[in-house]
Amino acid sequence: MASPTGQDKFTYALKSNDAWANYKGHQNPSYFPEMSKGQAPQILWFGCSDSRVPETTLMGLQPGDVFTHRNIANILSPTDLNFLSVLEYAVAHVKVKHIILCGHTCCGGCVGALSDGRIGGVLDAWLTPLKGVRAENEKELKSITDDGARAQRLAELNVQRGVQVLMSNYVVAEAIKERGLTVHGIVYDIASGKLNDLGIGSGAKNSPLKPGKHGVDGTQEAEYEVVKGKHGVLVFNGDGAEMTVQ
């Protein structure tokens, strides 16, 4: 798929990066030199690899704000060394203050786990834990007649299971007790762009994210504040792009 300038996506991305880096450097000459000295993000994000759920973008944050691990269907397995290494490094060494586990609507992994057929390859093995969540909640899921709503409910249940995995991890439990680390389970609604807090985890009562309408145990409508101000915007013309403030 071509970019707005007619270039292929990779060429487009390189030129966009050049415009962005020049803009950030002009706006604050110390931005990149300071960032190169180290990181101190307050948030650890576990999410899905889905291209429509870019954590930093949808939370309105910047490079350096979010330590991230993503995989197909945001599955957290207590035997996955990849997940565990990210978790331990972020909690024990970076000392993040919040862990967010985010599922999302329209998740292909949830659709696959709800299917009785094989997907093929390694995906069938990877989705086994999600198939287990489905089996444990078969009665409830079968009672949901709409396919999209059923997949969304499985996404919520998957987040609930993942939060349980996080809360049972020794490094996490120790950080919760010793320095008040909070764990949050949320679902991103692709159709609206909103994050909905499921009200689960150690941060359920004092979470900065307000309970959303798709919660596991409630239907309270979420409230959000629009942040106004000047923002950098990419403007494309000719063969390249430049950053401007609007």
Which phi and psi angles does 114 have, rounded to 5°?
A: -85, -15
Whether pLDDT at 213 is above 90: no
Residue 207 maps to a domain:
yes
Question: Would you list the DSSP string of 185-197?
Answer: EEEEETTTTEEEE
Q: Classify burial at 125, counting beta carbons within 10 Å of its beta carbon; exposed 0-12, middle 13-18, buried 19 or more.
A: exposed
Q: Give residue 7's pLDDT.
A: 75
Residue 169 is part of which domain span? 36-228
Ligand-binding annotation for 102, yes or no, is no
Q: What percentage of residues in the chain have a pLDDT greater than 70? A: 80
What is the value of pTM for the model shown?
Answer: 0.81
Residue 5 maps to a domain:
no
Residue 157 maps to a domain:
yes
Residue 8 maps to a domain:
no
Measured CA to CA, the distance from residue 203 to residue 200 in angstroms comes to 7
Residue 104 maps to a domain:
yes
Residue 241 maps to a domain:
no
Q: 67 or 212, which is more confident?
A: 67
Measured CA to CA, the distance from residue 209 to residue 96 in angstroms comes to 17
Mind listing the pLDDT tens digit for each residue in 125-164?
999 999 999 999 999 999 999 999 999 999 999 999 999 9
Ligand-binding annotation for 26, yes or no, is no
Residue 27 maps to a domain:
no
Which residue pairs, CB below 8 angstroms and at least 24 apart, start in 226-231? 227/60
Q: Give residue 4's pLDDT.
A: 60
Structural domain count of the chain: 1
Helix or strand run (H / E) with residue 102: strand 98-104
Ligand-binding annotation for 147, yes or no, is no
Q: Give residue 81's pLDDT.
A: 97
Q: Take residue 108 and report the two structure tokens written for it.
A: 């292909």
Query: Comparing C-alpha atoms, which of 166, 46, 56, 58 is closest to residue 103?
Result: 46
CATH code assigned at 169: 3.40.1050.10
Measured CA to CA, the distance from residue 233 to residue 244 in angstroms comes to 5
Residues that are catalytic: 48, 50, 52, 104, 107
Residue 132 maps to a domain:
yes
